[in-house]
Structure formats: C-alpha cells, structure tokens
Amino acid sequence: MVSLATLMYEILLTRIFSVTMWYHFAFMAISIAMFGMTVGAILVYLFPYYFTEQRAKYHLALSSLFFSISSVVCFLVHLVIPFIPRISIVCIFLIVFTYIVISIPFVLSGICVCLALTKFPQHVSKLYAADLAGAALGCIMLIWALDIIGDGPTVVIVIACLASTGALFFAAGVSKKVMHIALACSFLLASFAIANAILVRDQRPLLKLIWVKGERDHQHLYQKWNSFSRIVVDKDLNRKSASPGLSPVCPYHKINQLKMTIDAGAATVITAFNGNLDDLEYLKYDVTNLAHYIRQNSNVLVIGTGGGRDILSALVFKQKSVLGIEINKDIIEAVNKRFGDFSGHLDKNPKVTFVNDEARSYITRLKDKFDIIQMSLIDTWAATAAGAFVLAENSLYTVEAWKIFLEHLNPNGVLSVSRWAFPKLDAELYRLTSLAVASLRQLGIKTPRKHIVIVRRMIGKIKDAPYGLGTILVSKSPFSDNDLNIIEQIANKMKFDVVLTPRFSLDSTFAAISSGKNLIDFPINIAPPTDDSPFFFYVLRIHNILNRSIWKQGIIGIIQMKAVFILATLLAIVIVLTFLSIIVPLIIKTGKASLKGAFTFLIFFSAIGLGFMLIEISQMQRLIIFLGHPIYGLSVVLFSLLLSSSLGSLSTQKISNSSMKSSVIIALTLLLLVLIIFGKLTPYAICMFQGSTISVRVLVAIAILFPLGLLMGMPFPVGIKLASVKAPSIIPWLWGINGATSVCASVLAVVIALASGISTSFWVGFLCYVIAFVTIIWALNIGVVKRK
C-alpha cells in the first residue's frame, strides 16, 4: 500500500507540475521522489539507536501514517507558492524550496520502505518483491483514478487515503493508538475525496489549484484532468480569430468562440457553428490552409483536431471527407458532447469522422490514402503521465514518422505542417525543411526541392524578435507549374511571404537544406530528428549553449534556454542536495572500521542504481513512441518493468550462502547477455511491428521488457544478502547510495539522450551493469562468503 501510494504520488506530481509550473519542471517529480526516499533511508542509518529492530514495526506504522498526512499538507503548501517562470535568483530559490517541501512525504515513505527492506534481511526478497509489485500496481491505479475522478488535486487525497490504510495494516497488533489515528485519517480522507469528486462533476471543487504558471487560476466553464493533461474551457472575447496565421487583408468580423487550454499552456478554440459555412469564410485567409487551394475535392486527414478548427476548414473548402485524429479523448468529449450544441456537433456531420488515438500509430495501421494530411501547431510541451522529461521530444516530427505520412498520401497528395517562424534564425522551419528532404530521400526521391513549398505569415515581435507562422507543403509528386502559380497568387493576395519553392528561395540556408547539403557548421542543430533522437524542438548545440546571441533568437530564447537552464539547475540541485543530505552525513557518521571491506559494495550499489534508471528511462522513451499513447507507455513500460523486477527479486529468496557465488555469476551473466540482445533487437522489433494492432504492440513491448526487468530485479536483494554477511551495519547506507545514484541518473538519462541519443543512454546503463558484474565477482573472489 505504501509503495503503491508513493509511486502514484510521484507520477501525479509530474502532471500537477506541468500545470502549476512549466513542462520543464515535470520531470523534477521523479528526482524529488528518489531524493526524498534516499534521505529517509539515510536517516534510518544515522540513528540506529532510534530505528531499532525491536521497534521496527511501530516505526513502519508511524512513518507510513506521517507519509499520508504530509502528502496532503505539503501539496497544499505547494499550491500557495506563486511560481515565477523566469531565469532569476528568485526562481532558483523557488525551485529549491519546492524541491525540499515536496520531498518531505517521500522522506517519510523512504523511512518506511528502508525499514522494511533492511530490518528484516531474511525476508528481503519477498519484501522487495512486494515493494516493486505495489509500485507496478500504482502505475495502473493512477490512470484509473484520474480518468474516473477527473481531478488531480482530489487524487492527492485518494493517495493519502491509501497510505493511511497501509499505516492501518502496519499498526495492527503493534499500536492501538496509531491504528485508531490511521483509521480516522482513512475515513476522513475517503469522505473528503468522495465529496470533492462529486463537486468536481458540478465544476465546483473545494480543493483546486491556486497558482498556474505564475498567475492566479480562476473559475472555468469546464475542467477535466486525465493521465496526461488538464483541459479547461473558458469564455473567449469576441475577436477576429484565434489563428496567428490569418491574413491581414481578411475582412474583420467577430467570431463567437470558446477558448480551450491544455495544461494552462497550449490553446485551441471551439468555434460556434450553426451549420452555415458562410460564417466561416475567414478560414480561407489562413496560411495553415494553403494546401486546400491546390488540392480541391480531397480526402483530408487532420492530425490533432483540438477544438475542431482544421475540421471546419476542410468543410469550408468543400472537401469530400475529413478524418480527425485526436490523442486526448477528453478534448473530443468536450467539443462534441459537453459543448456540442455550441460547436454544431461536428461528429454528426456525414463528412466528418473523429478517432481517439495517437496519430502516428493509427496512420501506420491505416490502409487508406489521403490527398491532404494536415498538422497545425501540434506540440508536445506537455508532460505525459509516464514522467518523461518532455523537453522537446515528439514522435510526429521524426524522419520515420514523416515517411509513414508520405506513404499514406495519394500520388499527388500533400503533407501540410504549420510551425512558428522566426526569421532571424528560423530554427523550426529550417528543421522542417531538413525533415522533408530526409523523408523524401528515403522514398527514393533524388530532387526533394521540387517537392517542397514554404509560405509564412509574419505577425509581430516576441522579446524584440520578429515571429510568425509558417506552413510547409511536402508533395509525393513534384509541384506542377499550376500548383506554384496558385500558391504565388494566393500568397500575393493574402500578403504572405513565399519562403521556398522550386523556383525561389528567400535565403541561402533554405536553398542549401532543400538541396540536401549537410550544414555541420550551422550555429544550431537543424539535422532531421530520428526515433533514436526525437528532439525536434531542441536545436541547441552543446558548444553554443552559452552563446548569448543565439539565446535571443525566437523560440530558442523563449523556450529552449529556459528548458536548458532548468535542466542544468535541476542537475546542480540534485548533486548538491544529494551531497549535503546523503554523502556528508554518511562520511561523518561512518567510522573507518565500519567501511573496511565495503568499497566493492559501494561501487556495486552505485552501479546498479545508475544502470537500472538509465535502462528504464531509455526503454520508456523508445517504447512510448512505439506504443503511441501516453497511457500505454505508462502502464506497459513501468508496470512490466516493476512487476518483472518484483518476480526477479522473489526468485532470489532461496539463494543460500553455499550457492551464492554460482547464482550471482549466472544471474549477472544472463542480465548482460539479455541487455546486449534487447539493446540490439529493440529498434528492429519496433520497426517490424509498428503497424500492428495495439494488442500486438503491447505484447511485443512486454516481451522486450519482461526479461530485462526479471534479471534487473535480482542484483539488489542479492547485494543486500552479501552485505548482511560482510558489513550489516552499512546496509541502510547501501540503500541510500543506490537511491542517490538513481536520483542523478534520472537527470543524466535526459542529458545523455539530448546530447547523443536514446540508444547511447541505454548502452551507458549497460556499462554500469558491467561495472556491477566486475565488482560483485571481485567481492565474491576475495572471500566475502567464506569469511562468514
């Protein structure tokens, strides 16, 4: 129960941080959880006269009860802290303060888990298995809780209730006082959770967010949480249009619309529609709809329907049909059901079909082909429930994805993608161009420039940098003279800028990229992203991160430098707090006699802490793209790894001292072999089965993950058994070292993936297990077991 509640709380915080702060902070929840639990373990080590074996059961009950209470209290403290989203000393202070406050419940959870795993060494295999199994179940339960209740803050109360129930079990037969308090807490928390959940349905919750991205939150027309987003709908001011790509010559008239916001960041609009398309003629003046002029009477596919604007655009241009794919079912529900009377029930239009799925995986399975595939301003600045640090990765902006899209076009079909434009250093449009070139060449097209057109609409300035909205059109066939004449005519009429065509290039960079030149010396990285490095939005080169002239250029200055700053700050905080809170106390407390002969164990537990986290995060990043949906990524990846690791731990229960050496050598040798096999085969398996049904892809993912988890679950309990023979007094320290390295690895995995790719992160994890193998063999050969 305690492990289940801990993991639910950890993952839920990634969701809440995405809304209350910024997406760059979401991954901090994982580091906070690991840091707090490690500090808890160190406290058990530093105060052995307090945390005795005789009082272990009482302290298990007490720590789990305090974990329950503190999770609510610390969450309430977080809600009242106004976050300042800028690079400053105050911002750094708020990050540190939030880190410390939110870590308190995890410290108490860490005390509980450490007591269970270190005070009962004869049962460590069973207890570690229960720990991992509870965590695995927490992955699934959080999805259910968010989908059923539909409110993040209410789920915090549910999690606290689960933790207090764990305290109730621990206290049974040990302390009636603690048991009664735990029972009262469970009842009160459950009652409040039920009451607030009912009020959530009426959009009147008692517990709600106060500060959202530095601003006070307000009452909304509609609010709904799920495992990977919070959507809110508000009244919108009557204005021309929410689209930044609208032509300056568009006749002005007021549009009745509602504003839908995802995680208080990304916005879309629900447009009032009564069936009269004449009221929506302004959509013909939008740069994002350029493809409709050259491909009329088409079958259209829209990636990311949002509030339905691109669906309406296809109807305005009288296209034959439109298929809209939206990953977020709550957005579809809001548009077509909750506000269906306002939006005109688009799902009931005979030309329109809505599909709730991840676009890439769904299109891969489709046999149909389309005349237009449209993707307008689809971002992934949202943190998934998997807790991945989504600094910039997006499975829709890779060479492999665009090849799939182009393969699902008719011979004259057009892929239309709209992104932000920043003329001083047009990072996104440059990278879209390189993506188009690479994907076209994979289809065997030798002159890609004949297949690419880019047009943009300049809007104004952000941070003194001009910006606008650009649309790239990529065709399977070369654009005809008639196509180019229409595009140039519309651009001239609408006062759009023609950036690139087979006839013209606005600057030499676009011409060079479209001709296939590799711009290695370019100040930013505009190489086409791949599935191994799916960081489309991250364009900084390591040696240019401190180049202030690049910081000020468009999206880099606005988003990317903040993200890099946060990542660097987080890494520094993790290292400093880990050193101050874990390493220093251990050095002061531990005598030389206690540490004698323990060096190999310190290396071993550090290596498996680093290795497990690097392998877990790299496989998660790979398979989230493969499985397509954040829910599947969370439930399959984390559940499979944790459950199989639980079984791996359980399998070590009967290992005796006499068979220790042979069992350890066999287990670690198998682990290294399996890591090599799956490290090499996983990319091929993903490619082979990416077009299969979701059930087949889930089975393939489980087949990849289960052997890894089964064998990665063995080293920790085996190491604890060995340490209990050689140096039992430092077992809590070993647990703390394992946790400390896991904390650092959770950030390092992201740094490595950004710098060199997901596969590099995986192989660094493999190297850590090689080091663990060498050190444990060393420990066995110097006679650890024999000395006993």
Q: Give the integer Cα–Cα distance in Å for 757 and 538.
A: 12
* pLDDT tens string 111-135: 999 899 888 877 888 888 888 889 8
**At residue 643, does pLDDT exceed 70?**
yes
Over residues 779-785, mean pLDDT? 57
**Residues of the chain above pLDDT 70, percent:** 85
Q: Which residues contact 560 (CB under 8 A, 6 or more apart)?
A: 392, 537, 538, 539, 540
Residue 537 pLDDT exceeds 80: no
The Cβ of residue 618 has, within 10 Å, a number of other Cβ atoms equal to 26
- Residue with the larger pLDDT of the pair 447 and 569: 447
Dump the DSSP string for 186-208.
HHHHHHHHHHHHHHHHTT--SS-
Q: Structure tokens of 341?
A: 């009377």
Does residue 381 surpass a pLDDT of 70? no
Q: How many Å apart are CA 754 and CA 568, to the nearest integer? A: 13
- What confidence score (pLDDT) does residue 551 get? 55
pLDDT digits (tens, 9 = 90+) for 2-60: 999 999 998 888 888 888 876 556 666 777 887 788 888 888 878 888 998 889 999 99
Closest CA to 135 of 618, 570, 549, 709: 709
**CA–CA separation, 513 and 438 (whole Å):** 10
Query: Shortest CA distance to 646 belongs to which of 161, 63, 117, 122?
Result: 117
Contacts of 556 (CB under 8 A, 6+ apart): 425, 427, 524, 539, 540, 550
**Cα–Cα distance, 221 to 212 (Å, whole number):** 17
Sign for the pseudo-dihedral over CA of 77, 35, 559, 331: negative
Which range is most confident: 332-346, 600-614, 632-646? 332-346
Q: What is the DSSP string of 704-753?
A: HHHHHHHHHTSHHHHHHHHHHHH-GGGHHHHHHHHHHHHHHHHHHHHHHH
Query: What letters, b where the CB count within 10 A reaches 16 and e where it falls short, cover 357-376?
Result: bbbbbbbbeeeeebbbbbbb
pLDDT digits (tens, 9 = 90+) for 726-765: 777 777 777 777 877 877 787 788 778 878 888 999 999 9
Give yes or no for residue 641 having a pLDDT over 60: yes
For 558-596, what is each residue's pLDDT tens digit? 555 566 666 666 667 667 766 666 567 666 666 555 555
Exposed/middle/buried for residue 520 (C-beta within 10 Å: 0-12, 13-18, 19+): exposed
Domains of the chain: 2-203+557-787 (1.20.1250), 229-355+365-381 (3.40.50), 399-528 (no CATH)
d(CA 456, CA 438): 22
Instruction: Indicate if the pLDDT at residue 525 is higher than 60.
Output: yes
H/E stretch holding 654 reads: none
Min mean pLDDT across 357-366, 392-401, 605-614 is at 392-401
Contact criterion met (CB below 8 Å) for 130 and 117: no
How far apart are the C-alpha atoms of 742 and 35, rounded to whole Å?
9
pLDDT tens column, 88-112: 677 777 777 888 899 999 999 999 9
CA–CA dist 445, 403 (Å, integer) = 12
What is the residue type of 126? K
Q: Residue 167: pLDDT band by 50, 70, 90 thresholds?
A: very high
| Mean pLDDT confidence for 166-192 | 93
615, 766 Cβ separation under 8 angstroms = yes
Site of tokens 């879309």: 268
Interval 312-328 mean pLDDT: 95
Residue with tokens 């030309």: 351
Please report which residue ranges of 547-598 form alpha helices under DSSP H: 548-551, 554-555, 561-578, 584-589, 592-595
Rounded CA gap, 271 and 277, in Å? 12
How confident is the model over 434-445, as a mean pLDDT? 94
Which pair of tokens denotes residue 388?
């991945």
Number of Cβ atoms within 10 Å of the Cβ of 334? 24
Question: Residue type at 526?
Answer: I
Looking at residues 502-528, what average pLDDT do you find? 84
CA 583 to CA 737: how far, in whole Å?
8
pLDDT in the model for residue 786: 45
Over residues 479-494, mean pLDDT: 95
Q: How far, in whole angstroms, is CA 559 from its chain's centroid?
A: 17
368: tokens are 């149909």
Lowest-confidence range among 60-64, 290-294, 533-537, 732-736?
732-736
pLDDT at 382: 47
Closest by CA to 583, choosing from 772, 736, 768, is 736
* The overall pTM is greater than 0.95: no
Question: Is residue 499 over pLDDT 80?
Answer: yes
pLDDT at residue 241 tops 60: no
d(CA 75, CA 229): 19
Confidence of residue 548 (pLDDT cuts 50, 70, 90): low
- Mean pLDDT lowest for which of 370-384, 506-520, 624-638? 624-638
Measuring CA to CA, which residue among 391, 394, 767, 739 is closest to residue 615?
Answer: 767
Cβ atoms of residues 617 and 750 within 8 Å: yes
The contacts of residue 280 (CB under 8 Å, 6+ apart) are 271, 273, 312, 315, 316
Position with higher pLDDT, 211 vs 240: 211
Q: Which residues pair with 355 in a beta bridge?
A: 325
| Rounded distance between C-alpha atoms, residue 756 and residue 388, angstroms | 17
- How far are the Cα atoms of 472, 492, 503 from residue 19, in angstroms, in the given order? 31, 41, 45
Instruction: Give Cα separations from 652 to 127, 577, 714, 724, 738 (angstroms).
Output: 12, 34, 6, 15, 19
**pLDDT reported for residue 634:** 63
Average pLDDT value for residue range 455-483: 87
Query: Based on C-alpha coordinates, what's the Rg of the chain?
Result: 28
Query: Which tokens is 347 given?
Result: 């799902």
* Per-residue pLDDT, 724: 78
Q: At what angle do helices 731-756 and 28-46 cross, to 10 degrees?
A: 160
Q: Across all residues in the chain, what is the average pLDDT?
A: 84
% of the chain surpassing 90 pLDDT: 40
pLDDT band, very low/low/confident/very high, at 482 (cuts 50, 70, 90): very high
Separation in Å, CA 232 to CA 80, 193, 219, 262? 20, 21, 10, 7
pLDDT value, residue 393: 46
Locus of tokens 């370019």: 522
